[in-house]
Amino acid sequence: MIGPSLYRPLPARGIPLFPEKEKAAARPAAASLTEQPYRSTAVKKVLLIEDDEDDQLFFREAIEELHIQIKLSTAANGMEAISNLTRSAQLPDLIIMDINMPCMNGMDCLKTLKANARFQSVPVVIFTTSQNPADKQKALAFGAAHFCIKPPGFALLKKHIAGILDLFT
**Predicted confidence (pLDDT) per residue in 102-132, tens digit:** 999 999 999 999 999 999 999 999 999 999 9
- pLDDT band of residue 144 (cuts 50, 70, 90) is very high
Range of the domain at 46: 42-104+113-168
Which pLDDT belongs to residue 152?
Answer: 85
Average pLDDT of the residues of the chain: 80
- Total count of domains within the chain: 1
Run of H or E residues at 141: helix 133-141
Residue 87 has pLDDT above 50, yes or no: yes
Label residue 93 left, alpha or beta by phi (over 0 means left) and psi (-120 to 50 means alpha).
Answer: alpha
Residue 128, domain member (yes or no) = yes
Residue 10, domain member (yes or no) = no
Residue 3 has pLDDT above 70, yes or no: no
Which pLDDT belongs to residue 24?
Answer: 41
Nearest to 3 by CA among 151, 163, 169, 135: 151
Residue 55, domain member (yes or no) = yes
CA distance 60 to 81: 18
Residue 39 has pLDDT above 90, yes or no: no
CA distance 14 to 1: 29
Residue 33, domain member (yes or no) = no
Predicted TM-score of the model (pTM): 0.73
Residue 13, domain member (yes or no) = no
Residue 123, domain member (yes or no) = yes
What CATH number does residue 93 fall under? Answer: 3.40.50.2300
* Full strand arrangement of the beta sheet holding 70-75: 70-75, 44-49, 94-97, 124-128, 146-149
Residue 96, domain member (yes or no) = yes
- Better-scored residue on pLDDT, 39 or 8: 39
